[in-house]
Amino acid sequence: MNRLTARCLPPLLLLASGCAQLPALVPAEPAPPAVSAPAPAEAPAPLALRPSAPPAAPVTSITEPAPKPAPSDMWERIRNGYAMRPMDTELVRHWENFYASKPAFFARLVDRSRHYLFHIVEEIERRRMPTEIALLPVIESAYNPQAYSKAHASGLWQFIPSTGKNYGLRQNWWYDGRRDVIAATSAALDYLEKLHGMFGDWELALASYNWGEGAVSRAIARNQARGLPADYASLTMPAETRNYVPKLIAVKNIIADPARFGIRLTPVPNEPYFEIVTVQRHIDIKLAAKFAGMPLEEFRFLNPAHNKPVIKAGSAETIVLPRNRVATFFANLENHDRPLVSWQAHTVRPGEKPEKIAASYGMSVAELKSVNNLGSGNKFRAGLPLLVPVREGGTPNLPDLPATPVSLPKAYSTARNTHAKGTQPGKHAVKSTGAKRTPPKRAQSQVKPPASTAKKAPKAKPPAKQAVAASQQKP
């Protein structure tokens, strides 16, 4: 084959032609090596002939970028976890204006929330929920764990007694788990997870948290029967529930860009604020605060679940202490050689008069009534538990006592019917659901928070185009 022919052949024919000219596989007689040059070493087989061997890694491999450092501020951490749909409605803008016009209220929120934000966000992220949920206590209780409503809803997440029991929050004479931030947060997130599983939508889940899953389910069924959309914005609902999600979205938007709304958010460190300490001995709350080196008011604010001046340890209760106070608490507890309890329970016996009870414990009747929050309308009756001092040298009587029974006020169902009828004139009224949530009207906490958080949040004016009752405008 001449050079001209080789140039004109296609590559495959050229390769075939070359292969045809290869020598036969019969070994030929080797030529004697030259004396002046050593024999060349046998060349290794090329890598292409070793299919079992892995290919060598490239020298310039691409390395993955280093993970982002954790934010130092809890507000940034919350922003990073936003996952709910945006909402741009008149009600959202109304509540943005409301909260933005109350910078002092936001300052109090920050002061309260800094105690609990880290724990709550940790739990939310562990469950892979939207971090907007960490802002829900702004709407429920203004981040006051001592908040209490006329429907007996209590705590940061505003559980009424029955719902609290359904989600494992123990309630007795000594302790109310609805005000235990650790226990109530776990219960609230359990409940919200269940609601999201039912409806597959966070707006409907939050509406159910406020109004009740039964009420939301019936509202959805009514719309579906009429061929109407069944999303949150399309349902007929009470005014409180109609405002509920817009309030949360408004707070979310302000936290996302506080400068835009003229709000200054004090940074909250992205680190635990408290530690949980198991109480293994009965102890006075006043003494526990002294052991921790804390003001009594601050101790009560961190531990509002304990109803009485005594922390009863029979049920392995816990207290919450700032991290820098735990070692001090245990050191003082270990060095204390006097009684830890100065209060006990006394159950009124048939025919027993307050004067006799007070005298037997070295109290005046006025002191007995004051300690037990008994006004003129409260009657002494057989079986009524009272808090009284421990007699000197005596063993405290700390029996297991049930929580004082409560009943929802008649105004609860009446208000729901009234607001439901007024929300959508001409539509079918939404009947009382018995939903185990809070009523439209909320009451200020009966226990004062620390001085910096004691002021009541101001009321809002309803937007011009919304028939929203003024009693429902409190954040």
* Eight-state DSSP code of residue 47: G
| CA–centroid distance for 19 within its chain | 76
Q: Which member of 42, 90, 125, 140 is catalytic?
A: 140
334 is catalytic: no
| Alpha-carbon gap, residue 84 to 268, rounded angstroms | 23
Give the CA-trace dihedral at 285, 450, 261, 240, to 10 degrees.
70
Backbone angles phi, psi at 217, to 5 degrees: -60, -40
Q: Are 263 and 100 in contact (CB under 8 A)?
A: yes
* Eight-state DSSP code of residue 320: E
Q: Is 149 left (phi over 0), alpha (psi -120 to 50) or beta?
A: beta
| Alpha-carbon gap, residue 398 to 345, rounded angstroms | 6
The beta-strand segments (E) located in 203-340 are 274-278, 283-284, 310-311, 318-322
| Alpha-carbon gap, residue 440 to 474, rounded angstroms | 10
End-to-end CA distance of the chain: 95
- Which residue in 434, 86, 424, 87 sits closest to 226, CA to CA? 424
What is the number of residues in the chain?
A: 475
Q: Are 99 and 254 in contact (CB under 8 A)?
A: yes
CA 342 vs CA 117, 359, 364, 385: distances in Å: 34, 17, 17, 16
- Which residue in 116, 152, 151, 150 sits closest to 136, CA to CA? 116
Neighbours of 62 (CB within 10 A): 6
DSSP-derived secondary structure for 150-179:
TT--BTTTTB-HHHHHHTT--BBSSBBGGG
The encoded tokens of residue 244 equal 């509920």
For 452-461, give one letter per residue: b (16+ CB within 10 A) or e: ebeeebeebe
- Which residue in 180, 182, 204 sits closest to 194, CA to CA? 204
Q: Is 53 left (phi over 0), alpha (psi -120 to 50) or beta?
A: beta
Give the CA-trace dihedral at 353, 355, 356, 361, to 10 degrees.
130
Show which residues are catalytic: 140
